[in-house]
């Protein structure tokens, strides 16, 4: 009873998960493909880049909600290795936006105990952004709160190629016996090393594809696609995604208890 009351009052101040959710089955790791910024802006007669600006607010709100509701890691797709093919003005706007947001938000991230990391080929990013990324990573490295991974110049295939190269180099140097390479050895070479695989993948804007995101890590993630454009992704949309997740029967290739009973085992 008192536990229930405590949960209710926590929810009243917005710091625990909504009553509709089972607090025991909150996904530990949520990955999100933040899509639809351009269409959100175009629907309002605004330039596409205004959608990216609005998308930052949605990301901040999502990070806070995930942290409050007990999600341990949030991995967001901010810029893919393929996004360089967009018009130069849009790419430049995005890089400048990443810099501004990092400068503006670093103190709050520190205060809220967020541990931020950037996953991807960071050397190809503008130097100023690289500096800000290094500073943010370092200043939040010891934080005990939610892990916030921002995939920037990230591509799943490139990540796997890089891992293969690193392993091959070690093997060629005689430091690694190829026969000992297993799934853990490979996973340890990925940008996500040390992070458990995502339980839930959310993609906004109705697109039903992976777009080169976390190809290895999403092997058994539950996929939730919403029609909502990313800048409109809010508490209600996140709640729907988590309710959808909690309605799933995760089998990981096995059979559930019901299926085993039906076979008389």
Catalytic residue ranges:
35, 83
Q: Is 35 in the site for ligand IPE (CB under 6 A)?
A: yes
- State in angstroms the smallest separation of the CB of 14 from ligand IPE: 27
Residue from the set 80, 140, 149, 153 that interacts with ligand IPE by CB under 6 A? 80
Residue from the set 205, 217, 228, 242 that interacts with ligand IPE by CB under 6 A? 205
In degrees to the nearest 10, what's the CA dihedral of 57, 196, 119, 187? -160
Q: Which stretch binds ligand IPE (CB under 6 A): 62-70, 117-125, 202-210, 251-259?
A: 202-210
Residue 153: count of CB within 10 angstroms of its CB: 21
Residue from the set 35, 105, 159, 222 that interacts with Mg ion by CB under 5 A? 35
Q: Is 38 in the site for ligand IPE (CB under 6 A)?
A: yes
CA 112 to chain CA centroid, Å, is: 18
Query: Which residue is closest to ligand IPE by CB?
Result: 38
Strands 222-225 and 73-80: unpaired
Residues with Cβ within 8 Å of 196's Cβ and at least 6 positions away in sequence, in order, are 28, 29, 73
| Of 87 and 264, CB closest to ligand IPE | 87
- H or E element: which one contains 229? none
Q: Which stretch binds ligand IPE (CB under 6 A): 7-15, 71-79, 133-141, 238-246?
A: 71-79
Q: Is 156 in the site for ligand IPE (CB under 6 A)?
A: no
Classify the C-alpha dihedral 156-157-158-160 as positive or negative.
positive
| Of 143 and 234, CB closest to ligand IPE | 234
Q: Is 120 in the site for ligand IPE (CB under 6 A)?
A: no
Q: Is 79 in the site for ligand IPE (CB under 6 A)?
A: yes
- State in angstroms the smallest separation of the CB of 32 from ligand IPE: 9
Residue from the set 11, 18, 39, 60 that interacts with ligand IPE by CB under 6 A? 39
Report how far residue 172's alpha carbon sits from residue 24's, in angstroms, rounded to the nearest whole number.
46
Q: Where does the chain have alpha helices with state H?
A: 2-12, 37-43, 48-69, 88-111, 127-140, 156-172, 183-187, 235-246, 257-262
**Total residues interacting with ligand IPE, rule: CB under 6 A:** 17
Closest CA to 237 of 246, 249, 225: 225
Burial classification of residue 176, based on how many CB atoms lie within 10 Å of its CB (0-12 exposed, 13-18 middle, 19 or more buried): middle
Interface mask toward ligand IPE for 86-115; x: CB under 6 A = --------x---------------------
Contacts with ligand IPE by CB under 6 A lie at 33-39, 77-80, 83, 94, 205, 207, 209, 211
């Amino acid at each position: 009873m008192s536990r229930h009351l405590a949960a209710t009052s926590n929810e009243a101040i917005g710091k625990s998960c909504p009553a509709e959710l089972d607090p025991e089955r909150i996904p530990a790791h949520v990955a999100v493909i933040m899509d639809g910024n351009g269409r959100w802006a175009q629907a309002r007669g605004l330039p596409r880049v205004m959608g990216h600006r609005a998308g930052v607010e949605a990301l901040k709100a999502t990070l806070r909600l995930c942290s409050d509701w007990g999600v341990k890691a949030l991995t967001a797709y901010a810029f893919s290795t393929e996004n360089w093919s967009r018009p130069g003005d849009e790419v430049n706007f995005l890089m400048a936006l990443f810099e501004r947001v990092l400068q503006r938000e670093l103190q709050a991230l520190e205060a809220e105990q967020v541990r931020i990391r950037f996953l991807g080929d960071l050397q190809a990013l503008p130097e100023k952004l690289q500096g800000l990324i290094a500073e943010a990573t370092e200043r939040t490295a010891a934080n005990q709160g939610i892990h916030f991974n921002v995939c920037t110049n990230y591509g799943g295939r490139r990540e796997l190629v890089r891992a293969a190269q690193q392993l091959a180099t070690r093997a060629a140097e005689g430091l690694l016996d190829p026969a000992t390479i297993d799934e853990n050895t490979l996973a340890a070479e990925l940008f996500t090393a040390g992070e458990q695989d995502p339980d839930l993948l959310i993609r906004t804007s109705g697109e039903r594809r992976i777009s080169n995101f976390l190809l290895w890590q999403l092997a058994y993630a539950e996929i939730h696609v919403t029609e909502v454009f990313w800048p409109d992704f809010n508490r209600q949309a996140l709640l729907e995604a988590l309710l959808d997740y909690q309605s799933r029967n995760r089998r990981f290739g096995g059979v559930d208890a019901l299926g085993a009973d039906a076979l008389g085992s």
